[in-house]
């Protein structure tokens, strides 16, 4: 368990352009110089006129991210909406109808003193600054391009989230290795819930495993469940038995939602 983390460097940043909800191939940034984020909060106040007391809480409503670096030309064109519609091959234009693609942004934040890496992912980003640049012939160094983006909330694990994070070592190596190709299913966990479906004695089995999409699920046995004058006849995904039947020890592949299995009685 990581208890302290001091960011010293940001790197290994990539983006995947989104066409609708479909992510394209991951494209790595040439160089990252800066990554900063700021959250806009909304305060909600509950007042009691009777005694004059009040209670408030703040809710995050918007998360804005600024990143600076050297970006591949293809990335600049995609996020700003440059296209070559009606133009000859190799020529791209920008104008009032240009609409940049949303994209997934991932990066590594590195604590070089502790040799710890935090991986972050923003699952749906929108460039809100538009195409901007500054050219200075007198500068001693090449400048960085800058993007200002809104990190939109996306449902991940059944909850709207602006971004997700993890430390390398806190998740399976396969998850860390696939981070640049981030999709919500990479980090979502789902449960299998057993329902007695009218049982009058005993308890349904409990599955404590948090499954990822595609994991194999082995169906549990009846356990202590009983229903007077009835015989247990396996499980079904619907209480009335019109769903998919599963016998004890059957194996199925976890989908992208919790699964409830209902006891069947004959």
pLDDT at res. 7: 83
Domain boundary among 144, 161, 186: 186
pLDDT at res. 142: 66
Q: What is the mean pLDDT of each run of 10 residues along the chain (266 residues)?
A: 83 93 92 91 90 90 92 91 96 96 95 91 95 76 82 93 95 92 93 96 95 92 95 97 97 92 98
Which residue, 100, 102, 39, 106, is CA-closest to 67?
A: 106
Domain that holds residue 71: 9-186
pLDDT at res. 221: 96
Query: Has residue 2 been placed in a domain?
Result: no
Can you say whether the dihedral through the CA atoms of 54, 60, 61, 67 is positive or negative? positive
pTM given for the model: 0.80
Q: Domain check: are 238 and 174 in the same one?
A: no
Q: Domain check: are 59 and 135 in the same one?
A: yes
Q: Domain check: are 86 and 215 in the same one?
A: no
Query: Has residue 33 been placed in a domain?
Result: yes
For residue 42, the cross-strand partners are 59
pLDDT at res. 3: 78
Q: Domain check: are 179 and 74 in the same one?
A: yes
Q: Domain check: are 140 and 16 in the same one?
A: yes
pLDDT at res. 172: 87
Domain boundary among 128, 159, 186: 186
Q: Domain check: are 166 and 218 in the same one?
A: no
User: For the chain, how many structural domains are there in total?
Assistant: 2
């Amino acid at each position: 368990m990581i208890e302290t983390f001091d960011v010293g460097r940001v790197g290994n940043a990539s983006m995947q352009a989104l066409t609708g909800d479909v992510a394209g191939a991951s494209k790595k940034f040439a160089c990252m110089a800066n990554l900063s984020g700021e959250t806009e909060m909304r305060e909600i106040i509950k007042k009691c006129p009777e005694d004059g007391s009040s209670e408030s809480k703040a809710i995050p409503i918007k998360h804005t991210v600024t990143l600076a670096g050297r970006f591949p030309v293809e990335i600049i064109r995609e996020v700003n909406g440059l296209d070559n519609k009606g133009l000859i091959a190799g020529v791209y234009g920008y104008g009032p109808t240009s609409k940049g693609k949303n994209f997934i942004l991932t990066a590594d934040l590195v604590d070089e003193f502790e040799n710890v890496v935090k991986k972050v992912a923003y699952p749906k980003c929108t460039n809100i600054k538009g195409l901007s640049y500054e050219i200075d012939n007198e500068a001693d160094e090449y400048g960085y391009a800058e993007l200002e983006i809104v990190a939109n909330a996306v449902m991940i694990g059944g909850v709207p989230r602006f971004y997700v994070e993890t430390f390398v070592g806190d998740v399976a190596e396969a998850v860390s290795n696939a981070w640049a190709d981030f999709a919500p299913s990479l980090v979502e966990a789902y449960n299998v819930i057993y329902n007695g479906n009218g049982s009058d004695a005993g308890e349904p089995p409990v599955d404590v495993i948090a499954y990822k999409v595609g994991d194999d699920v082995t169906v549990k046995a009846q356990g202590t469940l009983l229903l007077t004058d009835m015989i247990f006849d396996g499980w079904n995904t619907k209480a009335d038995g019109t769903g998919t039947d599963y016998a004890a020890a059957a194996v199925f592949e976890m989908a992208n939602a919790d699964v409830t299995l209902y006891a069947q009685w004959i």
